[in-house]
Amino acid sequence: MSQEKLLKPGERTFNLLLLVLSAGVLYEAYQISGFDLLNAPGAFPLILGMIMIIAMLVILAEQRHRSGTATSGVGNAAKQFIQCCCPREMTVFTAMAIIYLALLHPLGFLPATILFLFLSQLYLRSGKMMASGIITIITTIVIYALFKIIFQVYLP
Amino acid sequence: MPETVSYFLMAWTDPSLLLLTAAGTLAGIYVGALPGLSVTMATSILISFTFAWDINQALALIVGIYCGGVYGGSRTAILLNIPGAPSAVATSFDGYPLAQRGEVGQAIGLSTVMSVIGGLIGVLVLASVAPFLAEMSLQFAPRDYFLIAGLGLLLVGSLSAQSLARGIFAAALGGVIGLIGLDPVTAEPRFTLGFTNLMGGIHYVVVMIGMFGVAEALFQLHQLNAETVRQKVDRIVPSLNLVLKFLPLSIRTSIIGVIVGALPGTGGDIASLFAYDHAKRSVKNPAQPFGKGAYEGLVAPETANNAAVGGAYVPMLTLGMPGDAVTAIIIGALVIHGLNPGPMLMIQTPHIFWFTVGNLVLANLFLLIFGLTGIRIFARIVELPRAILIPTIMVLCVVGTYSLNSSMTEVYWMLGFGLVGYFMKIYGFQMGPVILGVILGPLMDKSYRQAMSSVGNDGTAFLLDLVTNPLSLILTSAVILLLLSNTPLRRVLSRRSR
């Protein structure tokens, strides 16, 4: 079996989750106006919900003969999933982004952005404190000047 | 006629519009060229800043970015074998081997000139076809709009994803996201899950910035340490003989580009692959084999993807249907500026159409200027590490989303869509159908309900209308053929015919 035919770690689970989501969409669509009239507000959402379910069932059927990467045990599967889909850089960067959003209002745009840009560059570039600091300051000034002064948009 | 000319020349004569078109084109070239930054991402982030602007200024900047971005992807495809944009994938097949042969300057120069030729042919078709199509589209019934939108979603689903089912799923998901909020006719809440802050719906720009900006930035973290290759850049302006030699091919592939670009849902990426395939089939004895540095393999995709820009504007301006993801964003911008993309746009606001045409021509001229200059500086910029680019993209996404409604909730939504988009991307779902679904979902809902109301809620009459009206029959047949061509039935039939 070629590498392309192998399922990615967690792919089947992800698709099953999407199937559950599709069922949820169909249920929510039904809640809008049931099967009242063909032009009711819920009619087209019902069609979309059904399309999502059918499409996902087709995807799962297409995958039924495809095997996943060889694993033994839940621990190994989780390890493979993390390696393939959530590498450390992605997870840490996402966490930094969430913290950045949380700090935007308490700290204000400029301090939070400087902190986020500096720490994320420091992490992604494995050190290089001076270069990260200089680039952070230049980037922040450019973004602030461009959007606050030239485009005159509201910043968080 | 004089009015048309003055609208056409508006961007040429107004210094601020001229400057914005130039700035947009220049920025587009660099945005399109930087791997990890796509023209769709740039447009979706940028558009949120232009809502307070005059519509002409906003359009001037976006047209520039669009033209520049589609072309810019070829730069890194030739220099580094990394297509800066999906529309430049085919360019790298022969562009990079040309660079390896030491002909990088000539390759970039030729691709620039050919991109401009393709772009201008696209605009010419737009200017000549769109007014007639707009007039014709006034005769379209709601069911036809429903079918065209459905056809567009099916096309983008079948051409851009690993399988049609994935494309359809992504488009339907987008449709559901687009319908969140109060029903515009009955004010009944749809998919709000009881949350009052979902009553107003989710702004499509929030979804776009999340799925194109954040998801792509997170995805790029997988290639954080990809090495960049330094290149020597030499003579750039191509000789007239070389341009004339490839002119017939460039005209043919431009036409392919315009047609593919005009199909709702498709864009420069598919057009360039079609054109490359055409060049491979039609050019019998290239000086170098295809894939080993054939100039024909560079000319075909580069003309086609730029011609597709003009093509993509045709359904957008005449039917209100996006030709690709970027025109989907532009439709949103037009709506926010109080305009009505579709057949009435050409009648009520013809200046917008002729302004866009003039602006596209201008952007192509700027493309020629900027494309043939600054290549050495450019070669250094594309070497910018992703570790600097990715955090900057994240900040731009936050600023872009917040500037919409000054709402932190939307910023969190944007990040949420980014994470969903990231995992969908990992597992082979494309973002294009989702975005087109968000835009086309409400339109399909409206057309479907209008069509159903017009036949008194009679399902049989609705189905009969689909096959008895000539235009509806053509569209219905196209939908069915497209669906069948992606099923095992097609494989069975083609095996039998062999």
d(CA B269, CA A42): 35
For residue B102, count other CB atoms closer than 10 A to its CB.
11
A32·B190 Cβ contact <8 A: yes
Q: Which residues of B touch A121 (CB under 8 A)?
A: 387-388, 391
Pick the residue with more confidence: B457 or B31? B457
A110 Cβ under 8 Å from any chain B Cβ: no
Contacts of B233 (CB under 8 A, 6+ apart): B104, B105, B108, B375, B376, B379
In this predicted model, what pLDDT tens digit does every residue of B186-233 receive, in sequence order? 889 999 998 888 898 998 778 878 887 888 889 888 877 766 555 556
Contacts of B175 in chain A (CB under 8 A): 48
B151-176: per-residue pLDDT in tens? 877 876 766 556 788 989 999 999 99
CA–CA separation, B214 vs A114, rounded Å? 19
Task: Please determine, for residue B383, whether its predicted confidence score (pLDDT) is greater than 80.
Answer: no
pLDDT of residue B434: 87
**DSSP character at residue A126:** T
CB contact (8 A) between residue B190 and residue A62: no
- Answer yes or no: are the C-beta atoms of B241 and B289 closer than 8 Å: no
Closest chain A residue to the Cα of B191, Cα to Cα: A28
Check: CB of residue B93 under 8 Å from CB of residue B291.
yes
Q: Are B88 and B268 in contact (CB under 8 A)?
A: no
Facing residue for A151 by CB, picked from B49, B385, B457: B49
> In chain A, what residues touch B448 (CB-CB under 8 Å)?
39, 43-44, 47
The mean per-residue pLDDT over the stretch B451-459 comes to 90
Cβ–Cβ gap A52/B426 under 8 Å: no
Single out the residue of A2, A3, A6, A12 nearest to residue A60, CA to CA: A12
pLDDT in tens, B338-382: 887 877 787 788 888 899 999 999 999 999 999 888 777 766 666
C-alpha B181 chain-centroid distance: 27
Check residue B388 and give its pLDDT. Answer: 87
CA dist., res. B6 & res. B354, Å (int): 9
Q: What local confidence, expressed as pLDDT, does residue B238 receive?
A: 84
The average confidence (pLDDT) of chain B is 84
On whether the CB atoms of residues B129 and B261 are closer than 8 A, the answer is: no
CB contact under 8 A, B445 and A44: yes
pLDDT by residue (tens digit) across A25-54? 999 999 988 777 888 999 999 999 999 999
Nearest CA to CA, how far is A78 from chain B (Å)? Answer: 15
Interface test with B, best of A20, A50, A90, A149 (most B CBs within 10 A): A90
Answer whether residue B14 shows pLDDT above 70.
Answer: yes
Chain B CA closest to residue A96: B391
* C-alpha to C-alpha distances, A148 to A138, A151, A156, B389, B417, nearest whole angstrom: 15, 6, 11, 21, 26
Token reading at B30: 């660099």
Q: Are B254 and B268 in contact (CB under 8 A)?
A: no
Q: State the pLDDT at residue A1.
A: 39
CB contact under 8 Å between A52 and B169, yes or no, is yes
Note whether B158 and B167 are within 8 A (CB): yes
What's the average model confidence in pLDDT over B482-496?
70
> Which residues have a Cβ under 8 Å from the Cβ of B420 and sit 6 or more positions away?
B210, B211, B215
Contact A87 B222 (CB under 8 A): yes
| pLDDT digit string, tens, across residues A120-130 | 999 988 778 88
Q: Is the pLDDT of residue B83 over 80?
A: no
Partner B, chain A 57-96, Cβ-Cβ below 8 Å: 58-59, 62, 84-85, 87, 89-90, 93-94
Tell whether A53 is within 8 A of chain B (Cβ). Answer: no
First to last CA, chain A: 51
CA diameter of chain B: 69
Question: What ipTM was estimated for this complex?
Answer: 0.91
pLDDT of residue A2: 43
Which of B42-56, B127-141, B375-389, B418-432 shows the lowest mean pLDDT across its residues? B375-389
Residue B255 backbone class (left: φ over 0; alpha: ψ -120 to 50; beta: rest)? alpha
3-state helix, strand, coil in chain B (%, to 5): 75, 0, 20
Identify the pLDDT of residue B333: 80
Closest CA in chain A for residue B193: A28
**Confidence (pLDDT) at B20:** 93
**From the list A28, A44, A55, which residue is nearest B169 (CB)?**
A55
Specify the pLDDT at position B232.
59
Alpha carbon distance B462, B457 (integer Å): 8
Angle between helical axes of B89-100 and B295-319 (0-180°, round to 10):
150
Q: How far apart are CA B103 and CA B92, in angstroms?
A: 14
What is the per-residue DSSP string for B224-283? Answer: TTPPP--------SPPHHHHHHHHHHHHHHHHHHHHHHHSTT--HHHHHHHHHHHHHHH-
Chain A residues within 8 A of B419 when measuring between CB atoms:
94
Cβ contact, residue pair B183, A11, below 8 Å:
no
Cβ-contact B454, B249 below 8 angstroms: no
How far is the CA of A62 from the CAs of A15, A57, B65, B162, B474, in angstroms? 12, 9, 39, 11, 30
Separation CA B278–CA B180 (nearest Å): 42
Identify whether the C-beta of residue B436 lies closer than 8 Å to the C-beta of residue B152.
Answer: yes
Closest-CA distance, A72 to chain B, in angstroms, reads 22
Mutation choice for A interface testing from B20, B176, B483 by most A CBs within 10 A: B176
